[in-house]
Amino acid sequence: MERLIEFATQHYYLVGAWVLTLLILLATEKRKAGKSVTPAEATRLINKEDGVVLDIRTRKEWDTGRITGAHHIPLADLDRRMSELDKYKDKPLIVVCNLGQAAGSAAKTLKAAGFSQVVRLSGGMTEWKGQNMPIIK
């Protein structure tokens, strides 16, 4: 630990460059993934603004439990089956995956296809279940 502190004090410009690079990387990843919502915000979007849930998990994950009323299109099939979602282009679309990370790429694809209100569920189904939100099997 002493050597780390010694290195940091003697090479502050390298440490500063590393911190700056890390911050830029984090900002880029956050922007690329799009806006995220908590389970409580997702519930509000569903109930008050007619939000639609798009579950992009695999069939095996889908069968373990899903949000009531969710549409299931696995991420691998999203490009091919996107036309099924055309009627929801102007509604809030909440993209759900298992941990909240794959939903970012799906949200980016949907935005590029003209969906105006795409968000991803922060923490995915893991967070949804962790907050004891309702699921169906």
CATH number of the domain where residue 112 is located: 3.40.250.10
Residue 97: active-site member = yes
- pLDDT beyond 90 at 131: yes
Average pLDDT over all residues of the chain? 90
What band does 95 get if pLDDT is binned at 50, 70 and 90?
very high
What distances in angstroms separate CA 123 from CA 3, 29, 34, 98, 135, one per listed residue? 37, 15, 14, 8, 15
Range list of H helices, 34-113 = 39-48, 59-62, 78-81, 102-112
Confidence of residue 2 (pLDDT cuts 50, 70, 90): confident
Residues 13 and 78 in one domain: no
Q: Specify whether 86 is located in the same domain as 50.
A: yes
Q: pLDDT per residue over 35-87, tens digit each?
A: 889 999 999 999 999 999 999 999 999 999 999 999 999 999 999 999 999 99
Domain carrying residue 77: 34-130
The number of domains in the chain is: 2
Same domain, residue pair 9 and 73 = no
Rounded to an integer, what distance in angstroms lies between the CA atom of residue 42 and that of residue 112?
A: 22
Q: With H, G, I as helix, E, B as strand and everything else as coil, classify residue 37.
A: strand
> 77 and 18 in one domain?
no
Q: With a cut of 80, say whether residue 15 has pLDDT above it.
A: yes
Minimum mean pLDDT range among 54-58, 102-106, 124-128 = 102-106
114 domain-assigned? yes
Burial 61-87 (b: 16+ CB within 10 A, else e): bbeeebbeebbbbebeebeeeeeebee
Q: Is the pLDDT assigned to residue 128 strictly greater than 90?
A: yes
- Which is the catalytic residue, given 52, 95, 97, 121? 97
